[in-house]
């Protein structure tokens, strides 16, 4: 098997792993955690809940008209994710860490996109409270996307820029 083929399979596996972790965790929460439960996992610092978000991050756009929601939260993400996936699959010379960052973004993006299409909302269930720091309620897809974006940002600050 050629190195290009191995690389492409590696990308697909990373995307599927991110997507799979997200979907499995959301299915468990939907089945095992009642809506709006407040379960203290680690004191009051790590909370498990079950909230449906019909908007984007932190509820942005929940009150948008349905056609605008479909355009912004389904059609546009499908196009962006397909272009990203196509580009990283076709690019022959790409830094491994860039591939990982993009694969995390794509896998997480697909996870939330599937929820929006299948359920009309995204299941969020984690919240972290550490002193004055308090996150919004999020899910594993959000963790994947955020991790991928942070990795890509970190790479963009390097002196020796990776090949894109």
Q: Pick the catalytic residue: 22, 37, 44, 124?
A: 124
Q: Pick the catalytic residue: 22, 44, 115, 142?
A: 142
139 phi, psi to nearest 5 deg: -135, 180
- Burial group, residue 145, by CB count within 10 angstroms (0-12, 13-18, 19+): buried
127 phi, psi to nearest 5 deg: -145, 140
Give CA–CA dist 35/116, Å, rounded. 17
Known catalytic membership, residue 124:
yes
Known catalytic membership, residue 160:
no
68 phi, psi to nearest 5 deg: -70, -40
Decide if 95 contacts 160 (C-beta within 8 A).
Answer: no
- Catalytic positions are 124, 142
């Amino acid at each position: 098997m050629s190195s290009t083929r191995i690389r492409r399979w590696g990308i697909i596996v990373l995307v599927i792993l991110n997507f799979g972790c997200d979907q499995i965790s959301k299915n468990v929460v939907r089945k095992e955690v009642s809506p709006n439960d407040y379960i203290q996992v680690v004191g009051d610092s790590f909370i498990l809940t079950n909230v449906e978000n019909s908007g984007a991050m932190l509820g942005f756009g929940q009150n948008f008209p349905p056609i605008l929601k479909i355009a912004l939260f389904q059609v546009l993400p499908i196009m962006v994710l397909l272009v990203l996936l196509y580009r990283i699959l076709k690019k022959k010379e790409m830094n491994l860490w860039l591939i990982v960052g993009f694969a995390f973004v794509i896998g997480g993006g697909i996870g939330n996109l599937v929820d929006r299409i299948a359920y009309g909302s995204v299941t969020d269930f984690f919240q972290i409270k550490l002193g004055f720091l308090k996150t919004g309620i999020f899910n594993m897809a959000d963790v994947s996307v955020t991790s991928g974006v942070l990795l890509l940002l970190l790479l963009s600050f390097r002196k020796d820029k990776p090949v894109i």
